[in-house]
Structure 1
């Protein structure tokens, strides 16, 4: 850009007043944004201090009334923290909470807050276990332990997008690897996992790694709800993404409910998870309705389209009525936020009234149905509850009769919208949600305007009762299991070796180094399998037998090179390249297990494909039935058989290699 000389003789390097004004405005906006962030951080610190004090009192007192009061205070603090963090996330993402991305006004959704946790020190128990059981220097795994701790620290504050989901999924998969490698039915890591309840804010802790896994899985579902609530549902693409997110959330809560038991916190109890699953399916159904053609762009004469919208709205209302019934019953009613129950009730009334409004529009503005379309149109209606038999066609063809019936539906729509506004005003929290009130009030104004248009001064006929609307949808949402494989990476502790051998469920002895030379007939052994390679057979009297190698040993080192993850061909090539000088080997001999799982074992374990604990299945044992009930049972994997059930829990596990692979891997004697 060429700077022109100004008449006042000012230097070319000086900025124009217009540019200075733009910079000043930008600096002022940035300053306001920073001030808002600082104020939110101060409020978050204040809430955290209040939560710490309430938590200490909750744990110290044994008075039930005091604990109930403190639990109520914790729920308030938890709710405030969730709102503040959402506001901070919107500011960090460059979205002004007071602005909306589109002119269309949509009903607010219910996002679920994430469970919070405290810092955790993995170093001491993992180093001790690696040294004692695996026979290696635990200090040499400092890098792996730091990587695990960094991953856990990062997943405590995930971003509200797909990257946050991948982060949570990656940590969940590492927990599954830890479960398979380091835990047995008789051994735990000895760590206390602290998590705060998402609904009540009450702290809970357990030694079971399954509690950590279940809490992370819960956060995956909660993050799906936040992603769905943040979508711009005024367009079809945004509504479709919201449907997908809420379906994933429902599938996550269903997976958690079916595979975890003995939850120590209310948000992970079966009753709560069932209610949350129903809520997410209802919100997905609402997004399906919003993804249809907006009524404003629809021709009023399109009778069939209006009737389809009416049935879709009736379907949403039916879903929310079921959710409200579940939330209103104990024990869910005791810890579900009151504002959620009120919002669900408001939505049930609002969408039921919306169904009657669309039917009224179809009757009053739409053209009469032809003889072939009449049965299809009449399927929209249900007979009034007082009538036992249908009295002729439900959908009238005469213009005056259509006006009278449309007026009756508008009357029910107006009554329902007024009831929704009344319920909205009863809840203190909902009174602050101006967007919800604006949506219902806007629809009420449209209904009143249409009713005034249909009303006549000489209309002395009493309006008949409008029948109910038959719920129906063209797209029934289904719960979808979370994509746990998208964040699956390599096992952080893969240096310890393949899980098929090197896990806490097995015992082994390290032998070597053994110097193996080639005789006239070769080494005198045959190898099979991959990662690690198995000594399948040893010829009696051969060089391998003289060196002390035995059938069933696994080769873990060749000439000083670790080969636990080598393939069969790589080990064979290394031995053949040794020549007459021979090779130096290290092997491990798997020892028989010292004890089998007992009936008293209630530790969490990884489920196998048939629902049995993997360690028990290896020993040919059936799943033991518990003979006693702990007063505070651990959260554990459900031991119900999942065989043949679609959408079951798919746990990431390292592939278990069979002891003797197929003979195609056998190259012959070496």
Structure 2
């Protein structure tokens, strides 16, 4: 039926918003003070970094938008190494707004910027997941992938960034978001099974009932998490209600499929019986009252009785789901959810009246709950940052091993050397940057004050910070009578 193929809405997250950031002056100052370079010469790189930051504020809601956020996140690794010394701060504040409440927060720590971008990677995955057409297999697989990656991003954030100033990034909120995403994956797994298992045999219907019980289980855990003290006043009421509705709805479905398995499927043949018994013995959380399973499975009347008890429970749960749904104004406006709940309720009612006999004098018992079981456990997929390659925008400052915010060096010294009988009187080692391995006593290098361990940063005005050993040797060899001018720094 058309109503059966309608997908229940999922919960996506809004992106955190941030203020524009002018880094031109602070970075130019830092470059001249720390690196001893003309800050103005790096305006192009600074502007490029600011443009990247500006672009990632409004990513497109697709794979390209995710790549943009990843690119900026990866660029922050270099930015951190270049401009954030361990002891002092750059003096700029990063302003971000809470994803759920819009409350502003700011910090000088770059970790807040990194964490907020990571949060947005997770949020963007939730939007991509919620947009998929889950009535088709490719759409379902994409939704599963997106929600698993969202769970992974929030989990990574929870494990690697602490003390965030905003509530959306607190451990309690992130824990709730990870659980919510896992539940949404589990719901997609159930939908996938209903799509793939077209056959209506006894074992398939038991499996569907157990999958539905598993979805109910994870949503009820999310509901508990959302109603905890630290989270309750912060999570939107529509979310808490939606999660509660879903846990009741899937509990109803688990009992409905149990009833259908018992009432609509033919009694097992002798060949099928052992397999049916094995599946049924692990199906209920507690054993149903009445005859042994062996007898029950072979007696249509006993099957009908237990099926009727399951339907009675299903109808109660459908009604509870509809009641809770009615408490929330925002959800009442969601026609799709209303339609799904009411379709499932009517379907259970009509099945009940179909198997209810006028001459039934027995009291319909209480059906035991169904043991939750899934054939596909959700995975929490951590972000794969290496899939987006970036190059350091501030590459020209020199190799990070030396030219970083954490290293301090004396201002560059310029030294003019004349070639003597033993050449220039020093030996070299290493690459990018090349350093002086040894100074010959009494040679011209020793007289000019060169020391072992000095880094060569230029030869005759040519920047050598990234040069290989052989290139520097070649530059030195090619000098004539006029000698050579080299610049060195000492760490």
* TM-score band, normalised by shorter chain: over 0.9
Question: 1:126 and 2:27 equivalent?
Answer: yes
CA distance in 1, matches of 2:313, 2:408: 73
Q: CA 1:411–1:577 in structure 2 vs 1: closer, same or farther (change >3 Å)? A: farther
Question: 1:371 and 2:273 equivalent?
Answer: yes
Question: 1:280 and 2:181 equivalent?
Answer: yes
How many angstroms does 1:524 deviate by? 3.9
CA distance in 2, matches of 1:102, 1:585: 79
- Partners of 1:350 and 1:440 within 8 A in 2: yes
Show the counterpart of 1:337: 236
Q: CA 1:303–1:542 in structure 2 vs 1: closer, same or farther (change >3 Å)? A: farther
Show the counterpart of 1:553: 454
Residues 3-53 of structure 1 deviation map (CA, whole Å, 9 limit, x = unaligned): xxxxxxxxxxxxxxxxxxxxxxxxxxxxxxxxxxxxxxxxxxxxxxxxxxx
CA distance in 1, matches of 2:303, 2:467: 79
Question: 1:420 and 2:318 equivalent?
Answer: no
Show the counterpart of 2:155: 254
CA distance in 1, matches of 2:451, 2:250: 74
- Partners of 2:153 and 2:382 within 8 A in 1: yes
- Partners of 2:202 and 2:265 within 8 A in 1: yes
Question: 1:145 and 2:46 equivalent?
Answer: yes
- Partners of 2:3 and 2:340 within 8 A in 1: no
Residues 320-365 of structure 1 deviation map (CA, whole Å, 9 limit, x = unaligned): 0000001111110011101000000001011111111111221122
- Partners of 1:384 and 1:465 within 8 A in 2: no
Provide the alpha-carbon RMSD of the alignment.
2.3
How many angstroms does 1:157 deviate by? 0.7
Q: Which runs of 5+ in 2 are unaligned?
A: none
- Partners of 2:255 and 2:370 within 8 A in 1: yes
CA distance in 2, matches of 1:257, 1:500: 30
CA distance in 2, matches of 1:264, 1:550: 48
Q: How does 1:579-598 map to 2 (within 5 A)?
A: 583-590=484-491
CA distance in 2, matches of 1:583, 1:139: 28
1:536 to 422, 431, 437: 437
How many angstroms does 1:207 deviate by? 2.1
- Partners of 1:510 and 1:586 within 8 A in 2: no
How many angstroms does 1:391 deviate by? 6.7
Question: 1:209 and 2:110 equivalent?
Answer: yes
Greater percentage in helix: 2
Show the counterpart of 1:61: none
CA distance in 1, matches of 2:52, 2:95: 17
Show the counterpart of 1:298: 198
Q: How does 1:88-99 map to 2 (within 5 A)?
A: none
Show the counterpart of 1:463: 364
Name the SS of the counterpart of 2:79 in structure 1.
helix
Show the counterpart of 1:405: 306
- Partners of 2:18 and 2:96 within 8 A in 1: yes
Name the SS of the counterpart of 2:274 in structure 1.
coil
CA distance in 1, matches of 2:310, 2:461: 85
Name the SS of the counterpart of 1:536 in structure 2.
strand
- Partners of 1:236 and 1:292 within 8 A in 2: no
Name the SS of the counterpart of 1:292 in structure 2.
helix
Q: CA 1:571–1:303 in structure 2 vs 1: closer, same or farther (change >3 Å)? A: farther
Question: 1:310 and 2:213 equivalent?
Answer: no
Q: How does 1:161-176 map to 2 (within 5 A)?
A: 161-176=62-77
Deviates more, 1:185-194 or 1:216-225: 185-194
Show the counterpart of 1:383: 286
Q: Which runs of 5+ in 1 are unaligned?
A: 1-100, 591-670
Show the counterpart of 2:128: 227
Question: 1:263 and 2:164 equivalent?
Answer: yes
Name the SS of the counterpart of 1:565 in structure 2.
coil
Name the SS of the counterpart of 1:489 in structure 2.
coil
- Partners of 1:214 and 1:256 within 8 A in 2: yes
- Partners of 2:263 and 2:304 within 8 A in 1: yes
Name the SS of the counterpart of 1:557 in structure 2.
strand
Show the counterpart of 2:91: 190
Name the SS of the counterpart of 2:229 in structure 1.
coil
Q: CA 1:423–1:553 in structure 2 vs 1: closer, same or farther (change >3 Å)? A: same
Q: CA 1:519–1:234 in structure 2 vs 1: closer, same or farther (change >3 Å)? A: farther
